[in-house]
């Protein structure tokens, strides 16, 4: 599976950005696709995930109510709408896909296919 992110950039605190991830194919009945991020000097962390089995969504506590994940099956694209951005959201954001996953959707170790990432910088 090939994944390509886009949409990163610079935003001011309180602003918004939308990330996109084009996926070569995702017909995984038991899989998931998700967004992860890694700030300098920190471990990669799960931001949000979308279960392809039942369309359930998952969010890290730090982004609940501010970020929204969505999928356009026709366009084979996943989005992450980010609002009320904060400087601590600054990181490289990656999209990832996993053909079989049943729990811990925000655990990056479970995902096998990754994009190259896109930078998000939020200034205060």
| The pLDDT value given to residue 26 | 67
Decide if 31 contacts 53 (C-beta within 8 A). Answer: yes
Tens of pLDDT along 9-23? Answer: 999 999 999 999 999
Decide if 71 contacts 28 (C-beta within 8 A). Answer: no
Alpha helix locations (H) across 49-119?
none
Q: Which residues of 39-60 are buried (b: 16+ CB within 10 A; e: fewer)?
A: eeeeebebbbbbbbeeeeebbb
Tens of pLDDT along 114-124? Answer: 999 999 999 99
| The pLDDT value given to residue 25 | 75
Tens of pLDDT along 57-115? Answer: 999 999 999 999 999 989 999 999 999 999 999 999 999 999 888 899 999 999 999 99
| The pLDDT value given to residue 99 | 87
- Residue 35: pLDDT band (50, 70, 90) is very high
Structure tokens at 99: 């053909």
- Cross-sheet strand order for the sheet of 3-6: 3-6, 17-23, 77-82, 67-72
Place of tokens 């026709």: 74
Does pLDDT of 28 surpass 70? Answer: no
């Amino acid at each position: 599976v090939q994944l390509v992110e886009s949409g990163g950039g610079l935003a001011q605190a309180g602003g918004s950005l939308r990330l996109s991830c084009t996926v070569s194919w995702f017909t995984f009945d038991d899989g998931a696709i998700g967004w992860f991020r890694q700030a300098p000097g920190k471990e990669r962390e799960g931001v949000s995930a979308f279960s392809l089995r039942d369309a359930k969504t998952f969010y890290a506590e730090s982004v609940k109510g501010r970020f929204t994940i969505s999928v356009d099956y026709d366009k084979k694209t996943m989005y992450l709408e980010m609002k009320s951005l904060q400087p601590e959201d600054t990181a490289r954001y990656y999209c990832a896909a996993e053909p079989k996953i049943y729990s811990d959707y925000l655990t990056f170790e479970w995902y096998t296919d990754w994009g190259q990432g896109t930078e998000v910088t939020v200034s205060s």
